[in-house]
Structures are given as C-alpha cells and as structure tokens.
Structure 1
Amino acid sequence: MSKKLNISTSLEVYENLQELASEDFLLMEHAVKARSRAYAPYSEFAVGCAILLENNEIVTGNNQENAAYPSGLCAERVALFYAGSQYPGVPVKKMVLTAGPMSSDFFKPVPPCGACRQVISEYEKRQENGIEIYFMGTGGKVVRASSMESLLPLSFDKNYL
C-alpha cells in the first residue's frame, strides 16, 4: 500500500527592496548592475546575479546567450562558476537575483531555473551549508529562500551515483 508524502516550504516575501537589510540591499544593487550588462539579444530577458562569499567578496554574473541556445549560461551559473574558479573552497553565503524583460518593468519575482537550482544545490551540499537566495523581477516584491532545499526538495546529488 502506498503512503502519501507531503512536502512543504516556507519563503519570506518583502514588499520592496527598502525592506531588506542593508547588506542584502547592497548585494541586490550589485545584481541590478550585473543585469544591465547581460547579453540577451535573443530572449531580451536579462538576469543579474550577485553572490556574497564567506570571505565577504562579492561576485556577479549575468546571463550570456548564444544563437545555439544550449550554449548560453544563466546568471546564477556564471557567478557560481566564477566564484568556484577564483575562490576555491570559499563558501557561498547569499545569492541575489533580479530578472525581467530588457524593455519593460517586470514586478513578478523570478526564481532560478531548474538547471541553476541543481547547480546551486550541488554547491550547498559541497559546502555543507545552505545558501540564502533572494529573487525579484526588475522591481517590486523580493522573495527569500533560506536555502536551495526550500526551492528544490528531493534534489539529486552524488549519493544517487
């Protein structure tokens, strides 16, 4: 006989950037600046990401598209891979994201895509500590997840290999 498995999550929602702690507000400003430098000529959907490392370094990334769509990278992975290559072994404390169309405002919070969720999950497991994730559109509400586990329950990891 089967049993039902219930999975729930809890996220925090801030009405706007001004409700964030000063450190998180500053980090989001870095993400907004990174978003302005995104290369998104095909989707015209720009994403900016800023990561705060345990050593207080801030690393940014933005989406980089390519005419061969699978060859592009999302902002989250650009930032994480850069952090991993330049600061090996330094844990990631926080990640913030801003995303939306290049030509208009977008006030719906945009979470990481599935591929990025998997990569972030791998970083969390490797550092044995959660990564706070904040995400928003181009403005408006900001959502906070205490870790990727809140956004990706039952994640796939090396224990399945």
Structure 2
Amino acid sequence: MASELNIQICIDVLDSAEELNQQERDAMLLAQETANDAYAPYSNFLVGAALVLEDDTMFKGSNQENAAYPSGLCAERTALFAMSAYYPNKKIKLIAVTARRRSEQHFLPAMPCGACRQVMAEYEHKQEEPIPVLLQGPEGKFYRLRSVSDLLPFQFNREHL
C-alpha cells in the first residue's frame, strides 16, 4: 500500500522593507544595487544577490550573460562561487536575491532557478546548518525562508554519491 509524504514549508511574507531586520535590509539593498551591475544585454533582466557571512562580511553577485548561451551565470552562483574562492571556510548567514527589468525601476519577484537552488543547497549542506533566504516578492513584499531546503526539499548531495 502506498504511503504519503507531506512536506510543510513555512515562508514569512513581509509586507514591506520596514519588516526586515537591519541586516536583512542591508543585504537586500546590496542585492538591489548589485542588480544594476548585471551584464544582461540579451535578456535585460537584472538580478542581484547578496550574501552575509558569519563575520558580517557581505559579498555580492550579479547575473552575467554571454552570447554563447548558456555560458552565462546567475547572480546567486556568481556570489556563492566568488565568496567561496575568497572565504572558503566561512559560513553564510543569509542569502538575499532581487531582480528588475532594465526598462523599469521597481524590483520584481526573484525566484532562484533550479541550478542556483542546487548550488545553494550544496553550501548549506557543506556548512551543516540552515542558510536563511530572503527573496524579493511581488508589490514590495519580501519572502523570508528559514533554509535553502525550503526552496529545494529533495536535495541531491554528496551523501547520494
């Protein structure tokens, strides 16, 4: 007889930036500023990511496109890979992600792609503790997730190899 597996994911929906704590505000502001630096001449979709490390160092990344698609890289992976190159043993306290269209000033909901979710999950697994994720939501809202595993409940990691 088949059984059922229920997965419950709790996401805090914050109505405005005023509901963010100071560190979250700073990280989201850095992600928004970094989106402006994206190299996105083909999609015109500007994505910024910011990481807060255990010592409160902040690291950023923006999407980087390439005419030889799919040679580009998303903002989340740009930030994570660069951070790991400079600070390979530091833990991540928070990941913030936002996006906007080049032709517009307001920010849009930003949901990491599958590849970014997998990479984020790898770093969470590596540090053996949850990494909270803050995402730009619709209409000025924000989504706060307690862990990357809330974005990717069935993760593939080194234990599956």
TM-score band (shorter)? Answer: over 0.9
Instruction: In structure 2, give the amino acid aligned to 1:158.
Output: R
Counterpart residue number, 1:140: 140
Aligned residues: 161
Counterpart residue number, 2:46: 46
Which deviates more from structure 2 when the two are superposed, residues 90-99 or residues 134-143? 134-143
Counterpart residue number, 2:3: 3
Counterpart residue number, 2:29: 29
Unaligned runs of 5+ in 1: none
Instruction: In structure 2, give the amino acid aligned to 1:157.
Output: N
Which deviates more from structure 2 when the two are superposed, residues 105-114 or residues 149-158? 105-114
Change (3 A) 1:62 1:114: same
Q: Please give the per-residue CA displacement for 1:96-147, whole angstroms capped at 9, x wherever unaligned.
A: 0111211125565222111000000000000001111001158611101101
The reply to whether residue 91 of structure 1 matches residue 91 of structure 2 is: yes
Which deviates more from structure 2 when the two are superposed, residues 128-137 or residues 70-79? 128-137
The DSSP-based 3-state class of the residue aligned with 1:70 is: coil
Q: Distance in 1 between matches of 2:126 and 2:31?
A: 24
Which deviates more from structure 2 when the two are superposed, residues 93-102 or residues 129-138? 129-138
The DSSP-based 3-state class of the residue aligned with 1:40 is: coil
Q: Distance in 2 between matches of 1:48 and 1:123?
A: 18
Which deviates more from structure 2 when the two are superposed, residues 129-138 or residues 20-29? 129-138
Instruction: In structure 1, give the amino acid aligned to 2:90.
Output: V
Q: Structure 2 length as normaliser, TM-score?
A: 0.94
Which deviates more from structure 2 when the two are superposed, residues 20-29 or residues 101-110? 101-110
Q: Please give the per-residue CA displacement for 1:17-75, whole angstroms capped at 9, x wherever unaligned.
A: 12211111111111111000001111111100110001211000000001122110000
The reply to whether residue 70 of structure 1 matches residue 77 of structure 2 is: no
> Percent same amino acid among aligned pairs?
45
Contact 1:99 1:137 in 2 (8 A): no
4+ long deviations beyond 4 Å: 105-108
Q: Distance in 1 between matches of 2:137 and 2:35?
A: 11
Unaligned runs of 5+ in 2: none
Q: Distance in 1 between matches of 2:139 and 2:17?
A: 8
Change (3 A) 1:74 1:22: same
Which deviates more from structure 2 when the two are superposed, residues 87-96 or residues 105-114? 105-114
The DSSP-based 3-state class of the residue aligned with 1:37 is: coil
Q: Distance in 2 between matches of 1:59 and 1:139?
A: 26
Contact 1:107 1:141 in 2 (8 A): no
Counterpart residue number, 2:20: 20
Instruction: In structure 2, give the amino acid aligned to 1:78.
Output: T
Counterpart residue number, 2:126: 126
Contact 2:99 2:110 in 1 (8 A): yes
